[in-house]
Amino acid sequence: MFYCAEFLTLSKMALFARPAPSSPIQITRSIPSFSLTERISISRFFHFKRILQASLRSGPASYESGAQASVEQSEIIFLGTGTSEGIPRVSCLTNPIKKCPVCSKAMEPGNKNRRLNTSLLIRVPRPSGICNILIDAGKFFYHSALKWFPTYGIRTIDAVVITHSHADAIGGLDDLRDWTNNVQPHVPIYTAERDFEVMKKTHYYLVDNSSIIPGAAVSELQFNIIHERPFIVHDLQFTPLPVWHGSNYRSLGFRFGKICYISDVSEIPEETYPLLEDCELVIMDALRPDRSSSTHFGLPKALEEVRKIQPKRTLFTGMMHLMDHDKVNEGLIKLKEMEGLDVQLSFDGLRVPITL
């Protein structure tokens, strides 16, 4: 049995010490006996014991202020739908010669052109609580979470599934320290081995924290290596969708239920198409309105793929500043009448109920 962190009790606390019952290989850090790090881990255990005791005293309802209890159906929340540098671009806002219409609009509060790094939150109600499974935590993750976690009453991060190891997908791993210091003991990360190898360099102190300065409270991450075959996260099956993200660079999309998420793709290999069949919702990379880049689909190519895959509905993500939300969507809605294509741009904060 795997429990979502939101509803853990003290008696379940012991489960944290056990490996997750999923097929991926779990990487455990080697920690020498009686080291300072171990003593930090012990002190952390008592720190979490105090958090959990406090939550038990106040009762589960006040622990989550009632916000979590309102989620009865599974849903996805788009935490970010923009390209790596984010929209608005700073360089557009400081350009003395040319005004960028999309970046200017993106400065208006609540404007749908304001986009941070692509990331999706899957929320699944389970008997033990609501599971919050995140796809990617990029370099703007803190800002996404700051905006949408309080807005939607989201408290825990029960797992993070990684598409690839570019900064806009893993740059926020360090920010998970706020959760592992103050909300839950650790966050399980599901990643391909090639991306784990990158993390060993970019986030070496999170992979092996035996050398960190005593008292430095970094993210407590539990790494699980995934392969190009289905794996289970909190009773939800994920099927990796291997794609090319530039020549010779592999990225993963993921299928869960009848939803396929492919945020970073320049080409879909033939062997991946069967995994996209009979799909209710596809979330697909579409960087710019006119053409593809070497690493991302442009809108014309993304539409070509949608016609081939034939999902019931498609939401595009990963848009740059040339994609004006309202204007592009006005054009896309015409495709519904013309050829029955249900295609629209997503936007940060979009919440979609799903059936899993």
* Minimum separation from the CB atom of position 100 to Zn ion (A): 3
At closest approach, how far in Å is the CB of 93 from Zn ion?
8
Amino acid residing at 50: R
CB of 33 to Zn ion, least distance (A): 41
| Positions in the binding site for Zn ion (CB under 5 A) | 89, 92, 100, 103, 166, 264, 321
**Measured from the CB of residue 67, what is the shortest distance to Zn ion in angstroms?**
33
| Cβ proximity to Zn ion, 65 vs 91, nearer residue | 91
- Which one, 92 or 221, has the nearer CB to Zn ion? 92
Least separation, in Å, of the C-beta of 71 and Zn ion? 30
Nearer to Zn ion, 35 or 95 (CB): 95
Tokens of 9: 């009790």
- The nearer residue to Zn ion, 11 or 248, going by C-beta atoms, is 248
Shortest Å distance, C-beta 281 to Zn ion: 22
Instruction: Return d(Cα 296, Cα 267) in angstroms, integer.
Output: 8
Nearer to Zn ion, 45 or 249 (CB): 249
> Which one, 92 or 283, has the nearer CB to Zn ion?
92
Cβ proximity to Zn ion, 158 vs 168, nearer residue: 168
Tokens at 308, concatenated: 């081939």
Residue with tokens 């650790």: 186
CB of 348 to Zn ion, least distance (A): 16
